[in-house]
Structure 1
Amino acid sequence: MLKNWVATASNRIYAGLNSKGKPFDPLLAPSFPGFGIASPFECEIEFDSNLTVTLTEREIASVLNRGDFAARVQSAVELICAKLCVLADKEPSPDVVVLAMSKEMEDAIGPAARAGQARPVRATPLQKKERKKLESDKKTGQLHMAFFDEAETDAVPLNRFRDFHNAAKAHAMKSKLATQLVWYSTLAGSGRKEDPATTAWNFFTALYYKAGNVPWRLRFGTQQTCFVGITFYRESADPNAATRTCLAQAFSEGGESLVLRGERVTWDTERDRKPHLNRADSESIVNRVLNLYSDHFGARPNRVVIHKTSRFWPEELEGFRSALGDIHSYDFLALERRTIRFLRLGKEPPVRGTVIELGQRNYLVFTQGYVPFLRQYPGMRVPNPLEVVEHHGDSAADRVCSEILALTKLNWNTCKFASSDPITISFSRQVAPIIKELPDGVDPATKYRYYM
């Protein structure tokens, strides 16, 4: 089925009609030009019979017969990743492995099957308040009687194998092969959530990138700038745990990306509910980013831009500046979403790219809004601007805000006009759930293509 679908995609694919029976807007849903040597991609897919593996009925049954969803996912991941390790040992090894899932497998471990699973129970506001009080009292030596042992209330198991995509990506890192997952419903066109042209654009662009190519690049000028996103994710299933793991993503001006997992951090939640780094960890993570950048690109950058999802504490700034060494040009930006909204006269929201200066080094950037090229606003709700709540560095507001806008287009996992967040901070939403699934003894891959 995969080969037939790929063969069909060698010709132009049109978006067709929407749910109202009208043609899609060609600007929002452009036709797919086809994938082949004569297409804009200037390459084609080669299926090698020596690198093709088909699961047997017995192997599929071994997955389907497992009891619960997590057990089925674990069984499928172990089965498929064993096949990947065999493929990785072949010479030459494949550039990308497409995991084409059958209908039976999709019904057992696909998105619809996952949607039916129970979700973790979140603490109520009263429970959160009580827990915070208990933690505060512990620091002062105040004792409390409890109905349960402390180990029983605090020890929350790590939930793994909750999502096949994330678990498969993590375990596939053992083979060091990039993978592309495609479900039966995508190939069959059933339960379609997007038009066929957009499906083809997204599939083949991602495949093109995973094979070692860059679909598009940004033009920032001649200065070698390293864009770094520093975010935090929770490994524990406990939403109240005051421990996070730091995640750093580095992007070059040419679009190449690198991933680094930092150390687990614990911070003073009384001082700020959002995670922060101490001076040593701040210096360490930036040093590691710069060393990795130098290893991949042959030289250190001339300028470093850091985007962070929490405000900067003084010790963080000290650590970042110390790590830069002889790199004197830098910009550190703290980015947050606020509930503030702006309207303008007429029927359309503010234009994408609008910047409102609220104060000294405090800006609102409309990464979403009315797009003149599209002649419309490609969204459903009033756009929520991204706020630069802190800016430390040398550049003017127009430069750092223009870079934020440009980085919303540096996402090769989708071909839509732009994302709402720059890739420096949106990246963690894709990477963190996969890193949580990493098996013991496997280091996270440093290339973005292993996480897509």
Structure 2
Amino acid sequence: MFINAFSSEENISDLKVAKVAVAVRDMKRLSQYERMLSLSGVANCVFYGDYLYVKGDVDKAIDILTRGGAIMSKTLLRDESLLSQVEPKVTRMLIYSALENNVFQERNWIAPLRKTKRAIPKADVASDNLMVELKDEIIVLFGLKYMIEFRSTGQPLLWLDMYAPVWSRSEARRLSRKELTEELKALYVKKAMLPPHKRHEKIKSILDELFEGDVIKVTFCDGETLNFSKEHVHIFELEEPASPTESFSFMKLGEPAVRFRYGGSYEPRRILRLKPYSYYVIKEIPVKAIVGASEKEDFITFFRYLNNGYSGDYMRWPGFYQVMGAHLILDEDVKEIGGDNLSEYEDALLEMFNEAEENSVIFVIVPENFRFYRKIKALSLQRKRRIQILKTSTLRKEPLEFTLINVANAVYAKAEGTPWLLENPLSATKGLFVGISFHLDHKSKDIYYGAAEVFDNRGYFLKCLVRTYRLPKPAKKVRGLYIPEKEMEDLVMHLIKEYRPRMLIIHKSAKIHEDEKRALENIRVKNGIDYCLVHIENSNPYRIYVPRDQPNYMPLRGTIIFDKEKRNRTIMLTTGQAIGDRGDIKTITKIGSPKPLEINIEENKTPHNVREISEQILALTKLDWNTTNIAVRTPITIKYSNKAARLAPYLMGGEKLLSINDIRDLL
């Protein structure tokens, strides 16, 4: 097995850097000159602390910066150091400077793209290998994401992954996701979403275009170089004898099983045969519907298939009652509205909310580019009624039998049904699993946090809380999204008083802040409750490939990478191929390449080790009742806390605590 990392042949302790104490006159101008000096080949420069670090012509760089008004004329101190003796952040920034300006720019690439470490070829000179046309001057450019990481040996590791944005030639800019039509999305999937083996080959061909020979050569302005191998870093299975020089190893975790009414299974779609966990508890589910006038016939057809059954190319959907044991009772008065005006939907929903029974579900069929999803979802939460929003394309989405089973599962859950639970407990100790996510309102700069899903050790949902909090001005200066110490204590103590757990495991979508650590430690000292703080990072540069004897280089879900130097970190795949009930391999990720989660345990006072914490996270991906896929990428603790945080601005203001009574409200 191998990962998308490339090792260096040099040690940074062999490289020199000049360290100059300077007085900054204009920080913005200094940043601009740092890039200009690198592009012109004078020097790679980084200002950090009170020092300017220079690799190149020091005297010329200082002269240009002084005459340009970036720094004062007098330098206070000048020294020469080794890169291994300076802060890792400085070394990383110097390598990025050389890579972006001395490599990418020289080859007609654009790097970095804004503040992100991404590079793409210029559209007007990109080779056929580096682009593919979608339609009408809209193309996909094949570039790179890059990240430098240092190992304890002093050798840097270069992580590289493919980056493929949609680009408008006529406007000379990247198109955002919101600007992509359904046609462009379909073309992108067909032409640019590459499976692992093709992704691997594309990265190799990009490197061959950028770098001659067998190495990735990064040259600094002073002539010193860093050479990275073009061969991916290979890793060995944990049970096998590994070389002491190897930094990574892997193992495969078992597929978590779920419990239905009549047995357990690895595959949620076995609900067809094994029946939901709460089978026959619900007798009837009243259903109402709001549709566009032109979509009424399609909805009626879809609902008939949902209720009575449908035979597709892959399987047969037997019908709602045959699977769930409950009758769907559709109100014949299907509400038709004329367009996608928000007020029409709100008026229709308010009317239906007043008429709907307690466990009813209201279907809302919306246009493809509907802009008011969160507003009408928030309205349903405020009125304590559950809605099932479907895009018009979903009514015809193939394979239709899979669409039907997923929608049926969600509708059953929203009517207070329990489709399945975990077969095995997450922990032998009575514990709570809490997800915390954040939403930053870029216009108001308000931060909404505290969207917390709470589950017991059997994966049974208990409660969801949403709290909004506007950070005070001093706290807003602290980088990162976090809950201040007092608010974190209040949130956790509320849970402790209600459920009296012996252990808390908190999953957070952002890095753990010192305020949060202090809050949990205070609670541990006062109440004797163990805790674990886990940062689950969705956005990362990592990819995992298996040898050629596996189909399409596709790795198994549950593959976990251990880092010998960072023992509290794992890289884990939650999509990819999966093991079914009969031991057969099921390829889940048919389009594109599976992307792992990065799991960082930042504080751990529980008896669980990093493998056990990762196993719990894998199991929590299996509790998403919004789909019957065997493989879901994100654990429900993060997925639904994120949904709740994004809904928070539409639900309340101030610092009021709002209880979303059930995860079913967020499906």
Q: In 1, Cα distance between the equivalents of 2:387 and 2:509?
A: 29
**1:341 partner letter:** R
Change (3 A) 1:368 1:97: closer
Deviations 1:57-78 (A, max 9, x none): xxx35xx4xxxx6xx11x1233
Change (3 A) 1:42 1:321: farther
- Residue aligning to 1:301: 501
Q: In 2, Cα distance between the equivalents of 1:4 and 1:370?
A: 34
- Residue aligning to 1:380: 591
Q: In 2, Cα distance between the equivalents of 1:329 and 1:343?
A: 37
Change (3 A) 1:199 1:308: same
Is residue 175 of structure 1 aligned with residue 383 of structure 2?
A: yes
Change (3 A) 1:206 1:242: closer
**1:199 partner letter:** T
Change (3 A) 1:415 1:34: same
- Residue aligning to 1:42: 325
Whose Rg is larger?
2
SS of the aligned residue for 2:650 comes to: coil
- Residue aligning to 1:403: 616
Is residue 204 of structure 1 aligned with residue 472 of structure 2?
A: no
Change (3 A) 1:435 1:348: same
Identity of aligned residues (%): 22
SS of the aligned residue for 2:421 comes to: coil
Is residue 80 of structure 1 aligned with residue 363 of structure 2?
A: no
Q: In 1, Cα distance between the equivalents of 2:323 and 2:505?
A: 32
- Residue aligning to 1:226: 432
Q: In 2, Cα distance between the equivalents of 1:208 and 1:302?
A: 33
SS of the aligned residue for 1:176 comes to: coil
Q: In 2, Cα distance between the equivalents of 1:230 and 1:279?
A: 14
Deviations 1:183-229 (A, max 9, x none): 55544x3xx3x311111111110111011111010134354321101
Q: In 1, Cα distance between the equivalents of 2:544 and 2:318?
A: 38
**2:631 partner letter:** A
Counterpart of 1:412 (choices 625, 629, 647) is 625
Residue segments in structure 2 that go unaligned for 5+ positions in a row: 1-296
Q: TM-score, normalization: structure 2?
A: 0.48
SS of the aligned residue for 2:323 comes to: coil
Change (3 A) 1:13 1:257: farther
Check whether the contact 1:255–1:410 (CA below 8 A) recurs between aligned residues: no
Change (3 A) 1:76 1:270: same
Counterpart of 2:641 (choices 417, 428, 437) is 428
Check whether the contact 1:98–1:180 (CA below 8 A) recurs between aligned residues: yes
Is residue 437 of structure 1 aligned with residue 650 of structure 2?
A: yes
Question: Offset of 1:4 from its aligned partner?
Answer: 5.5
Change (3 A) 1:265 1:321: farther
Q: In 1, Cα distance between the equivalents of 2:612 and 2:559?
A: 13
Deviations 1:242-263 (A, max 9, x none): 7443322222334325321224
Question: Offset of 1:10 from its aligned partner?
Answer: 4.2
- More strand by proportion, 1 or 2? 2
Change (3 A) 1:433 1:278: closer
Question: Offset of 1:311 from its aligned partner?
Answer: 2.3
Check whether the contact 2:436–2:453 (CA below 8 A) recurs between aligned residues: yes
**1:256 partner letter:** F
**1:448 partner letter:** I
Check whether the contact 1:311–1:390 (CA below 8 A) recurs between aligned residues: no
Question: Offset of 1:307 from its aligned partner?
Answer: 0.4
**2:567 partner letter:** Q
Is residue 326 of structure 1 aligned with residue 527 of structure 2?
A: yes
SS of the aligned residue for 1:260 comes to: strand
In the TM superposition, 1:331-350 aligns within 5 A as 331-336=532-537, 337-346=539-548, 347-350=552-555
Counterpart of 1:312 (choices 500, 512, 537) is 512
Q: Which has the higher contact order (CA 8 A, sep 6+)?
A: 1
Q: In 1, Cα distance between the equivalents of 2:602 and 2:318?
A: 42
Q: In 2, Cα distance between the equivalents of 1:343 and 1:183?
A: 35
Check whether the contact 2:555–2:577 (CA below 8 A) recurs between aligned residues: yes
Residue segments in structure 1 that go unaligned for 5+ positions in a row: 17-25, 115-161
Q: TM-score, normalization: structure 1?
A: 0.69
- Residue aligning to 1:9: 306
SS of the aligned residue for 1:99 comes to: strand
Change (3 A) 1:330 1:443: closer
